[in-house]
Amino acid sequence: MTLSPRSRYMFRRVGWYSLTLFVALFLNFMLPRLGPANPIDTIMTKLSSPGMDSQAYLRIYKSYVQEFSLDKPISMQFFTYVGKFLKGDLGVSFTKYPLRVNEIIVNALPWTLALQIPALLLGWIVGNVLGALAAYKRGLFDKGLYPLALFFSSIPYFCFAIVLVFVFAIQLQWFPAMGAYGNDMLPSFSFAFFGSVLTHYTLPFLSLFLILVGGQAIGMRSMAIYELGTDYVGYAKMLGIGEGTIVRYVFRNAMLPQLTGLALSLGMMVGGALITEIVFSYPGIGLTLFTAIRESDYPVIQGCTLLLTLCVLAANFGIDILIGILDPRIKAAQEAGNA
């Protein structure tokens, strides 16, 4: 039985991502244990620090040792860790004992996803359309858009976030400066609550969206300029094919490298967007990490890093599948070894 080239591509991607996941798990497990300040010592020093119920800490310590079989050799510990991960168990928080890390993350993750996914998707689409237009139209539109896009694309997310808070929340007071909804309300299905969520959402969203648009527009513009100079465009023009059709082809061909570029820079974007959450005190994974780091809450820190890596891997996998569907070269069964 021979597989179609497309299925073969998909299988290869699945294999590749399984490996990546394993490496991510391994790094997540090993790296925090390499340094001198490993979690268990931190608990031991806390045990002897004042202001903490030492009985409670002993209980935490015992449950932690038991949960992660810390009295067993390190290879066993890793297998315990992977086994727990596969069951979806990320352990217990140190500082919010007996709260489980899962519960903390489940509360934070939706905010992060709700902020980043729309910003990424819309930013990518708007940026690409603008970039393609600039390449095609040139002239005034390009002259205006290019420097602006260049400027936006080179501002760090969190710097832009700080400026937005300062100008629109503190000086002009058009939008709230922090949080995801008014601190005088509880989440509910009401217009008042949704309105509050929306006003709190605007600035963080803009801080990510505008910068993404800038970066994508710059990338698409150069891709499209290159495509417009290729032989097939000249040929199509000679044949008298309509402009709209040509632009569609150019857009489609320039889009694939843009998709690949998005997949590659996803990790950097997610990292930048995390810090944005801290600036806005937006209750997502970034802020959870910030708090956990300040309290040396290792299980929560590791839970957050692992989950973020998972999200990035999943998004990358999705983009790869999309490329597999869109890229005619994969259909044409090019036996290229560049998996």
Partner 1 sequence: MKQFKALLTSPAFLIGTSLFVLCLFLSIAYPLITSTDPFARVGYPFEQPSLKYWLGTNAEGQDMLAQILFGLRASMFVGITAGLIATILGTLIGITGGYSGGLLDNILTMATNLLLVIPSLIILILITTSIEKRSLVLVALIIGATTWTWTARAVRAQAASLKNREHVHLAKLNGAGTLSILILQILPYMLSYVFMAFVMQMATGILSEAAISMLGLGPYDTVTLGQILHYAQRTEALINGNWWAFLPATIMVTVIAFSLYLVNTAMEGIFNPRLRK
Residues in contact with partner 1 by the rule CB under 8 A: 19-20, 23-24, 27-28, 31-38, 150-151, 153-156, 158-160, 162-163, 165-166, 170-171, 177-178, 218, 222, 225-226, 264, 266-268, 270-272, 274-275, 278-279, 289-290, 293-294, 298, 301-302, 305, 308-309, 312-313, 316
Contact 292, 176 (CB under 8 A): no
| Residue whose CB is less far from partner 1, 111 or 160 | 160
- Cβ at position 55, least distance to partner 1 in Å: 26
Provide the total of helices (H) and of strands (E) in the chain, helices listed first. Answer: 13, 0
Q: What is the DSSP code (8-state) at residue 333? A: T
- Cβ at position 35, least distance to partner 1 in Å: 3
- Cβ at position 163, least distance to partner 1 in Å: 6
| Residue whose CB is less far from partner 1, 202 or 281 | 281
- Cβ at position 161, least distance to partner 1 in Å: 9
Burial 292-328 (b: 16+ CB within 10 A, else e): beeebbbbbbbbbbbbbbebbbebbbebbeebbeebe
| Residue whose CB is less far from partner 1, 253 or 331 | 253
| Contacting residues for 135 by C-beta, under 8 A, at least 6 apart | 142, 220, 221, 222, 223, 224, 225, 228
| Residue whose CB is less far from partner 1, 10 or 331 | 10
- Cβ at position 1, least distance to partner 1 in Å: 27
Report the candidate in 12, 6, 15 with the shortest Cα–Cα distance to residue 330.
6
| H or E element in which residue 277 lies | helix 243-280
- Cβ at position 224, least distance to partner 1 in Å: 11
What does the alpha-carbon distance between residue 79 and residue 222 come to, in Å, rounded to a whole number? 48
| Residue whose CB is less far from partner 1, 242 or 337 | 337
Other Cβ atoms less than 10 A from the Cβ of 25: the count is 18
**227: amino acid identity, one letter:** E
- Cβ at position 91, least distance to partner 1 in Å: 15
- Cβ at position 37, least distance to partner 1 in Å: 4
| Residue whose CB is less far from partner 1, 112 or 302 | 302
| Residue whose CB is less far from partner 1, 73 or 229 | 229
| Residue with the two structure tokens 């990510």 | 208
Determine the Cα angle at 268 with ends 263 and 269, to 5°.
80
What does the alpha-carbon distance between residue 326 and residue 331 come to, in Å, rounded to a whole number? 9
**DSSP secondary structure string, 52-82?**
S-HHHHHHHHHHHHHHTTTTS-HHHHHHHHH
| Residue whose CB is less far from partner 1, 89 or 295 | 295
